[in-house]
Every structure is written in structure tokens, then in C-alpha cells.
A and B are shown apart, each in its own frame.
Chain A
Amino acid sequence: MSAAPPIIEVAGVGKRFVVGKAEAVALQDADLTIADGQFVSLIGPSGCGKTTLMRLIADLIEPTEGSISVAGKTPRQARQDREYGYVFQAPALYEWRSVLANVMLPLEIMGVPKAERKARAVTLLAMVGLESFHRSYPWQLSGGMQQRVSIARALAMEPKILLMDEPFGALDEITRETMNFELLRLWQETRKTVVFVTHSIAEAVFLSSHIVVMTARPGRIREVIEVDLPYPRDAETRESERFFELTTRVREALRVGQAAANAGGGASSGAAAAIPKSAAD
């Protein structure tokens, strides 16, 4: 995709789930290369396999076909070497730990000594703007704040890659836009590779350097669109002409792509079966 070295390579990957007696094809023939430092959004309708693709990259599930390479390693190796941080749709914070303790959790598992753990967690919380909430408990924070803690936690292990699965999906529009700014700021500071799953075209265009358009039934990668809006992006970017053109282009790609998939995808095996949302390995 660009001059920077590839950090994630997906080649011919497919994933099939067995649901009862039927088989569901979540992803088929996926080919994708993501370079270091890019902000890549995966966008598509429900059932297009974007979450499945993320989970395959994260080694939370295994592909039935094809291969993936993450930072030059297999996904399993990358997971064990803690090369990425994962941010889920829900904050998934532990109720019995304070905010600070939640951020320290991955560091505990890594075996980082206590003082250093605490120092790093404090820094991370400051980075997401929650420096005065160390002692608070998750239920005392709003949804947006909880998600920020989740992001801070994902950065704790200083991974090269950040995998984010609709992290702002549960938030309202205004909070979401604020969070988008925050995320871009973080990304600029830390220069990590971000793979970002979203439903929102505007969000995808605003945040990403590249947008991967996917279609459903079966899940496929249709097109990769480059977003040439300059960084840093701000409120003005959102109102620019180019922004509008790009969102229109993405929308078109989605619509046309899906229509093509529907027309040609009738013969796909097991296409009608629903893919379980949290299908485990």
C-alpha cells in the first residue's frame, strides 16, 4: 500500500464456522497488506467479516484457509509476544479493580515490577485525559471515560499495533466526535499501526489513512480506498469538500460492492447462515 514496511499481511484467508449442521462462511479469500504506521479502517455491513478478520489477526480465532503474518510472526507468536493491544466494543473493565488497577492489569501479567507498573499506568491515564480518576471504580465513570481507560490499558504493553473493534459504537455522536479527536491525537503521539473496525463512514474517513471496504454474504474485501486528507485533521477537515467526496466514494463502494456480491454471491456456500457474533476458537 505504501513505502513503509508491511506489518500485517493477510493472504488468501478464509474462515468457516460450523453452526449446528450448517456451515457459515464468515470470510473468504481475504488479501490485505497493512504497512507500519497506517491507520486502517475496516468498514462494511453486518456479516462482512470485519470483526472476524480482526480476531484472526489477534489470534483469538484461527483461519480455516490462508495465512496471516503479524510483525513478521505468526498471529500466535505475535499474541504471545504481546505485539498488539485490543480494544473491544465494550470497555470490559474489571469492576473489582480501580481505574488504575485496571490499566495495570496487562503489566501485572507481563511481570513488570510494581513501581514501574504504577508509573506507566499513571502516564497512560494522563495520556487519555483521566489523570484525576486513579482511585475511581469503573461504575463511577461514564461510557466514554470507561472506553478511554480501555484504550489506555491497550497501550500499556506498548504494542506496535492497536486493534480496535468499534470502540465508540456505544457512545453518542457528540462524545464520539470528541473521542475521535482524542484517538487521532494519541495516534500522532505514539505512531502505532491502528486497525479500526467501524460502521460509520464519516468516522472511517475522518480517522483513517486507508479504508478497507468489505461486503457481506460471503464476507470479502471489496476495495481499499486511500484517504488523502492531510494530518492533523480537525473540525474543518470534516466540513471540507474533499471529506464529502471521500464519504460519497466510500458509500458508493459499499453499495455497488454489496449489489455485486448479492448478484454473484448466490452460489456461495452457506451464505445464508448467520455467523455467531462471539464465535470462539
Chain B
Amino acid sequence: MSSTGSSDDRPLRRTAMRVVPIVAVLAVAVVLMYPVALWLGLPLARLRMENLANWLVNTTAAHPLREAPAAGTTGAPAGARLTFGAFEELVATEDAAPVRDVERLVLVRGGEPVAATFTLDGEGLVLQSAVEGPLLQWGDLLEGPLDAGHVFRFSDPAALGSALFLNGSLLEAGAVDSVERADGVNREFTFSHGAGPVIVAGELLVEGVGFEVDGNRVVLGRAPPFNAPVRRISRDYAVLDAAAGTIALAQPSAQAPQAASAVLALAELLLGGVNGSNRTFQLQHTPLVENDPARRLVLNGQELSATAERPQERVDGERASFTFAGTRGVVTVNGAELTEGRDYSRAGNVVTFVRPPARNAQLRQYQDYLVSDPASGTVTLAVAPVPGDKLWAASYTYYDRPECGATPLECFFTMPQHPMPFPHWIAQRIGPFLTAYPFADSRNVVRATIYTAAGTLLALLLGGLVGVLLAVVFVAVRPAERALLPWVIASQTVPIIALVPVLLLLLGNVGVTVQTSLVPATLIGAYIAFFPVAVGTVTGLRSVDPLALDLMKSYAASPLEVFWKVRFPAAVPFFFTSLKLGTAAALVGALVAETESNNRYGLGYAIVGQVQAGNVSDVWILLIISALLGIGLVALVGVAQRVLAPWEFR
């Protein structure tokens, strides 16, 4: 009977014309998500990159000889070439003038500088003057191999940390932690670098036996226990168990390595100029890690102490004289260095300030030195070195580079969670997320969706019924509308977030287990849906053509007949339209009720859980599911409308 002409001949084209615009909008939205994701994520990635807490730290130490001299060799003549471990770390590659490098490095042995002049080239050091004395002292051979050839043990665990040589070559220690934490379930771990065996909680795993390798990713045979440290050897060896004194070699060896002490090493000098009055120096690798137990600065052969002494007396804001343990040192108030003579005077270990420090100020005396600025690596000494002194670093820790990558873009892609993920990442997550649990498990997302849908449908039924009854009362009983309508409207303005806990309390008292029941979702959803239904149905009941009412009057129909035969059918389309309006809001209400009642069977619980876990892609998937659920429910109401009120659709 419809007269739409030619488009009927090609129903496929008509469907396409309806569907294509919707799909086009979706496609545009998806495409736009990429630049928006970058726009939102890059600043976060940049922040992450700049945050020192995310940087890889490196402890640099004086680097021992790489090639051990043959036994019996003492000293090295002028012109000899020496190579040192991790040489490239010491020698700056940007400004390669050898003279400058020489001023930054010093030869040390056994904790003391060695008087020697040398020049540097790209590979090593060439002595200009001879070095007297043995270049190293051999120690014990390590015990082992304790397994197939990787694990060896110091006979004295306290010797752990001394230089190790194998077949005359220096072994360098290095291990890198995994990016992921061990959660007891995960078996896959990634490492930023390193290619050796993996150490899990003090146990060595060798490739092929304990794990499989795929680039930077390893798949372990067994999941490590919760919070177990997972490391990968990145250099020649790593410490396996410090208490037992065991180490693990990256490459297996039948021979045991040998410890050596007093090995000739190349160490960093502190920069700043030794002139007898300068007390401020800089370390070469910055920024420094502030609380660094590995920091050892040495003046000639004397290790400097970084301890900060506190005064015996309380800083109460009025007192000006304080007693310290030592008789010299850098005095700081709240981290700022004060000048002797100008800000304070000293008499032995008593310091008298010109102005009393403020109440509860931090008063410290640093006996030897303090790190005045970790960012620039600045160190202030208590006593200025005199010309001829060598101020060098035996070891210290610094922030080497950002862990996530070299550029913000790299860090963007390695971010575990993005404020807005790329659409294809979300798409990739759909499969694993939906099938993470079997359908029978209440944690399965599809099951939760069905549960919430059921709750919402019940809510719509209940809300629809209540709305219609209320509408009938309003139309049939004149004063009822005047009396009740303001209260009905007021009921809708109470935020459901406040209402739900009260309702849950009531239900709990009546004996309903809210955590596993559909009742809260049904009641709250009905509460939200009944209002539009009531208002819409009232309009519908009153929308009757006056002629139709005259007609019924001319039939001498009773009021009840008028209601059932005329008013009620006229109101049905209005009912469905207003029910559609209430559907989306009822769904939200059901979700809120589920969330606040902690109902683990529902979608609200899943959403909150994923939000708290920070799985952004999964949250997006859940949002999409919720939206589709809303669309589906509205469509369902529309289908009901088509079936029960077909006359609206001509």
C-alpha cells in the first residue's frame, strides 16, 4: 500500500542508503580518535619521560683493567697500552679532545690514585710514564661450576663485588629488571635490553630449559611467584644470591673465574678545579640519584663521608648556639649552605649563629661533603683540596636515560595505559577481554551484560506499569494530578547516587542479598523510568480528538467504555515513546545500583573494576558494550511498539 516508488525495486539499495551514513559517521569518529589519542597521550608520555623515577639508573665505578696481565708482570712501562672495562662510559664521545679527557680521569689502584701521566684514544689509554707495582693482586678462584657452567660461588661471600677475571679478561656485572611485575600468573616478561639468562628470585634459568626467547620478550616455563624479582643478565655476569655469594655467568664456562683485588682502574675525577680555595665540584654523570648508598667519593686515598650531623639541641627559634659531634664541616640550614664568619662563628664543635635559625628548621653539619644539587651533580666539600690533590669518584649512581624510550613518541607507545587508546588497540583487546573467562563464570563480560540487560528490562516493565497506573489516576481523578505531580517531579530531582544506599539498607533489612540480586537495579531503573512514562501517558490519555469523544457520547457509552475503547488505545503510542526516553536513563540507573551494591554479576561491577585496575582499553570496550546495550534496549522497545501499536507506522 505504500507508495515509495522506485526505491522499492532495490531493497538492498534502500538498506544501504540507511546504513551508509551511520557507518560513515562511525568511520570518521574512529579516524579522529588517532590524532586525539596522540594529543592526549603525548604530554603524558613526555611527563613520563621527564620523570626521573622512570629512568634507568646506572652505577658507575672505577673501571678495572680489561685484560689481566700475565702472572708475574708488575708495573707497566711507558708507552704501554691499557684497556679498561666499560671504557666508553668514561670517555665522552661528543667532545673528544684527549687533553680534556685526561683532566677528567685518574688512574687508581686499591683506593688510591696512581701517579702516572697518560693519553687517551678511542680504544684505551697509553701510558706516558711508567706505573710501578703490580697491576692487580690475584684472589681466590671461585667455587664451581655449581651447575651446567653458569653458577659459581665466592668462598667468602663478603668478597662479592671484587673484580672477576675469566681467562684473563674482566667480567663485568650487569642485570636488568623486567618491565612487568611478577603477579603469580604471568609467564611473559619483557626486558629493555640484555641477552643473557634470566634470574628469577635467585634461581638461574637458562634458555631452552627455563624459558623461550622472542627478541626482548621471554616466556618462562613456570610463572614466578608473586613479587619475585625477575632479572636478565645484560653483561658478563650477575649476582645470583648475595647472602650465599653466588654469581651466574651469561656464557657457560668450565673454568672458574678468579677474583682480583687492587686492580688498576680508571676513575672519574670530579670537575671544578682544585686550586686550594674552590670547594664546589661536579660529578660527570648527572642527574645524581639523591639517596645513593653506592656513592663513594675519595680525596686522594681517603674516602669522604657524606654523613650529616644533627645538633644536640632542639631548634626552637630562639637558640643561637648548637653543638655538633664534629669540629668542622659544611653547615646548612634547611639545605642552604651558610658561610662561616658571616652567618655563624665556630668554637670547636659549637656553632653560634648570627641570627637564630627559625623554629624547627633543619640544621645539619656535613663533615666532609654534601650533595648540594643532585640535578647538576654539584658537590660541596667542607675543606678545599689543595693543588696536587686528586678528588675522584669510586662509584656513584646516576639517572642514565628514560626507561620508556628516547623520544616522547617512543615513550607514548610503551606506556602501559593510555588516556585514549588507539582504536585498533581497543579492537585487539575485544577478543581476549570478552573470552577471558568462560561463559559460566560470573566474571565473563557477556554474561554480565546479559545480567544487566535483564535487570533493566525488569525495571522497564515495573516502571512502565507504575507510570501507566499513575497516569490513569491523574486523568481519572482530577485533584490527584494537582496534589501528586509536584511530588513526582521532586522525586526525580533526588540524585540516585544518594538514594541507592538508602534503598540498599532497606532491602538488606527486608532480607534481600543485594550483592547477588536484581532487585536494586530493577527498583532504581523503575524509579527513573516511571516518570517519563507517567507524563507521556497522561498526555496520550488526554490527546483524544474531541470528535472521537463526541462520537462515544452519541453512542451513550459509559465512562469506562470511553476509557478502554478510546483513551487507552490513543495513549499507547505515547506510552512507548516515553518508555524509549526512559530506557537509557533506566540503564544508567541499573548500572549505578549494581555498582553501589557491589553486585559482581553485573556490568557496573566490571566497569568499576577495570577503571580501578587502570585498564583503559578494557574500560573503552565496556563503554562501547554499555552504549550498544542501551541502543539494543531502545530498539527492543521500538519493536514492541511496532507489534503492539502498528497504526503509528504508516
Interface residues as binary, A46-90 with B (CB distance below 8 Å gives 1, 0 otherwise) = 000000000000101000000000000000000111101110111
A96 to B575: give the CA distance in the assembly, Å: 15
Which 7 pairs across A and B sit closest by C-beta, in order of nearness? Answer: A95-B647, A92-B547, A86-B554, A80-B556, A96-B569, A139-B650, A96-B647
In the assembled complex, A157 has its CB within 8 A of some CB on chain B: yes
Roughly how many angstroms separate A110 CA and B565 CA in the complex, as a whole number?
A: 13
Residue of B nearest to A281 (CB): B553
Tell me the complex Cα distance, A139–B556, Å. 27
In angstroms, how far is the closest chain A Cβ from the Cβ of B363? 91
If A88-B547, A137-B647, A140-B1 touch, whether A105 touches B554 (CB-CB below 8 Å) is no
A-chain residues with CB within 8 Å of residue B572 when the two chains form the complex: 96
Cross-chain contact of A108 among B556, B565, B569 (Cβ < 8 A): B565
Nearest chain B CB to A102 CB, angstrom units: 10
* B interface with A by C-beta (< 8 Å): 1, 545-548, 550-557, 561, 565-566, 569-570, 572, 645, 647-648, 650
Q: Is the CB of B550 within 8 A of A60?
A: yes
Q: Nearest residue in B to A95 (C-beta to C-beta)? A: B647
Q: How far is the CB of A279 from chain B (nearest CB, A)?
A: 10
> What B residues does A88 contact at CB under 8 A?
547, 550-551
Q: Give, as a whole number of angstroms, the nearest-CB distance from B468 to chain A.
A: 16
Check A115 for interface membership: any CB of B closer than 8 A: no
Q: A87-126 interface mask toward B, CB cutoff 8 Å, 1 = contact, 0 = none? A: 0111010111000000001101110000000000000000
CB pair B546–A280 under 8 Å, yes or no, is yes
Contacts of A96 in B (CB 8 A): 569-570, 572, 645, 647
Tell yes or no: A278 within 8 A of B by CB: yes
Q: Would you mind naming 9 contact pairs between A and B with Cβ atoms under 8 Å apart?
A: A60-B550, A84-B554, A88-B551, A90-B545, A90-B547, A94-B548, A96-B645, A105-B555, A110-B555
Residue of B with least CB distance to A154: B554
CB within 8 Å of B: which A257-281 residues? 278, 280
Contact B553 A79 (CB under 8 A): yes
Give CA–CA (A89, B553) in the complex, Å: 16
Chain A positions within 8 Å of B647 at CB level: 95-96, 137, 139
Whether A94 contacts B554 by the Cβ 8 Å rule is no
Report yes or no: B547 in contact with A106, Cβ–Cβ below 8 A: no
Q: How many pairs of residues, A versus B, come closer than 8 Å at their CB atoms?
A: 58
A95 partner residues in chain B, CB cutoff 8 A: 647-648
A109 touches B555 (CB 8 A): yes
| B-side contacts of A84, CB under 8 Å | 554
**A92 to chain B: which residues have CB within 8 Å?**
545, 547-548, 550-551
Task: Determine which residue in B546, B555, B647 has the highest number of CB atoms from chain A within 10 A of its CB, and name it.
Answer: B555
Give A21 Cβ to nearest chain B Cβ, in Å: 24
Taken together as a complex, chains A and B put the C-alpha atoms of A85 and B546 apart, in Å, by 17
A142, chain B: closest CB distance, angstroms: 12
Scan A224-257; emit 1 where CB is below 8 A from any B CB, else 0.
0000000000000000000000000000000000
- Contacts A109-B555, A139-B647, A278-B546 known; list 18 others, CB within 8 Å: A60-B550, A60-B554, A79-B554, A79-B556, A80-B556, A86-B551, A89-B547, A92-B550, A94-B565, A94-B566, A94-B569, A95-B647, A96-B645, A96-B647, A105-B565, A109-B556, A109-B557, A140-B650
Q: How far is the CB of A78 from chain B (nearest CB, A)?
A: 10
Q: In the complex, what residue of chain B is closest to A89 when comparing beta carbons?
A: B547
A residues in contact with B557, CB < 8 Å: 109
Question: Which B residues are in CB contact (< 8 Å) with A105?
Answer: 555, 565
**Minimum distance in angstroms from A120 CB to a CB of chain B:** 15
**A82-B546 in contact given A94-B566, A109-B561 (Cβ < 8 Å):** no
Contact of B554 among A58, A139, A140, A278 (CB under 8 A): A58
> Contact between A86 and B550 (Cβ–Cβ < 8 Å)?
yes
A157 contacts which of B547, B555, B566, B570 (Cβ < 8 Å)?
B555
Return chain B residues, CB-CB under 8 Å to A94: 548, 565-566, 569
Interface centre among B550, B557, B566 (most CB of A within 10 A): B550
List chain A residues, Cβ under 8 A from B545: 90, 92
Nearest-CB distance from B540 to chain A (Å)? 12
Look across to chain A and name the residue whose beta carbon is closest to the beta carbon of B645: A96
Q: Give A134-165 as 1s and 0s: 1 = Cβ < 8 Å from B's Cβ atoms.
A: 00010110000000000000000100000000
Residues in chain B near residue A81, CB distance under 8 A: 556
CB neighbours (8 Å) of B570 from chain A are 96
User: Closest B-chain residue to A91, C-beta based?
Assistant: B547
On chain A, the residues within 8 Å of B645 by CB distance are 96
> Which chain A residues border B561 with CB–CB below 8 Å?
109
Report if A82-B555 is in contact (Cβ < 8 Å); known contacts: A60-B550, A94-B569.
Answer: yes
Q: Chain A residues near B552 (CB, 8 Å)?
A: 109
How distant is B551 from chain A, measured CB to nearest CB, in Å? 5
How many angstroms from the CA of A110 to the CA of B548 in the assembled complex?
A: 17
Q: How far is the CB of A246 from chain B (nearest CB, A)?
A: 32
Chain B nearest CB: distance from A25 CB in Å? 22
Q: For A106, what are the chain B residues with a Cβ–Cβ distance below 8 Å?
A: 555
Which residues on B sit within 8 Å (CB–CB) of A60?
A: 550, 553-554
Q: How far is the CB of A106 from chain B (nearest CB, A)?
A: 5
**Max chain B C-beta neighbours (<10 A), residue from A60, A85, A94, A106:** A94
Distance, CA A141 to CA B545, complexed state (A): 19
Q: How far is the CB of A73 from chain B (nearest CB, A)?
A: 13
Question: Which of chain A's residues has its CB closest to B546's CB?
Answer: A278
Query: Measured between alpha carbons, how far is A39 from B551 in the docked complex, in Å?
Result: 22
CA distance A106 to B556 in the complex (A): 9
- Shortest Cβ distance from B607 into chain A, in angstroms? 41
A24 to B193, CA, bound (A): 99
The residue of chain A having its C-beta at the shortest distance from the C-beta of B549 within the complex is: A280
Return B646 CB to nearest CB of chain A, in Å.
Answer: 8
- Chain A residue with minimal CB distance to B650? A139
Hey, which chain A residues are within 8 Å of B553, CB to CB? Answer: 60, 79
Q: Which residues from chain A contact B554 at a C-beta distance below 8 Å?
A: 58, 60, 79, 84-86
Q: How far is the CA of A278 from the CA of B557 in the complex (A)?
A: 20
Chain A residues closer than 8 Å to B569, beta-carbon distance: 94, 96
Chain A residues whose CB sits within 8 angstroms of the CB of B650 once the complex forms: 139-140
Rounded to whole Å, the gap between the CB of A98 and the closest CB of chain B is: 10
A60 to B554, CA, bound (A): 7
- Residues from chain B with a CB closer than 8 A to the CB of A58 are 554
CA distance A86 to B555 in the complex (A): 9
Minimum C-beta distance from A57 to chain B (A)? 11
Instruction: State the CA gap A96–B556 with chains docked (Å).
Output: 21
Q: Which of A58, A86, A96 has the most CB atoms of chain B within a 10 A radius of its CB?
A: A96
Residue of B nearest to A82 (CB): B556
CA separation between A258 and B106, bound complex, in Å? 129
Bound complex: CA of A86 vs CA of B549, how far in Å?
Answer: 12
Closest chain B residue to A84, Cβ basis: B554
Q: Across the two chains, which residue of chain B brings its CB closest to A277?
A: B546
Residue of A nearest to B644 (CB): A96
In the bound complex, CA of A140 to CA of B547 (Å): 20
Q: Across the two chains, which residue of chain B brings its CB closest to A153? A: B551
How far apart sit A105 and B555, CA to CA, in the bound complex (Å)? 9
Residues of A within 8 A of B555 (CB): 82, 105-106, 109-110, 157
Nearest B-chain residue to A139, judged by Cβ:
B650
Please, which residues of chain B bring their CB within 8 A of the CB of A109? 552, 555-557, 561, 565
- Nearest CB of A to B577, in Å: 15
The answer for the CA separation of A84 and B552 in the assembled complex, in Å, is 13
Closest approach, in angstroms, between the C-beta of B130 and any C-beta of chain A?
114
A53 to B: closest C-beta gap in Å? 15
Please measure, in the bound complex, the distance between the C-alpha atom of A14 and the C-alpha atom of B188, giving whole angstroms: 98
Residues A2-34 near B (CB distance < 8 A): none
B550 CB to closest chain A CB (Å) equals 6
A109 to nearest B CB, angstroms?
5
A110 CA / B555 CA spacing, docked (Å): 8
Select from chain A the residue with minimum beta-carbon distance to B557. Answer: A109
B-contacting residues, A141-193, CB 8 Å:
157
Give Cα distance in the complex from A278 to B547, angstroms.
9
Q: How far is the CB of B548 from chain A (nearest CB, A)?
A: 5
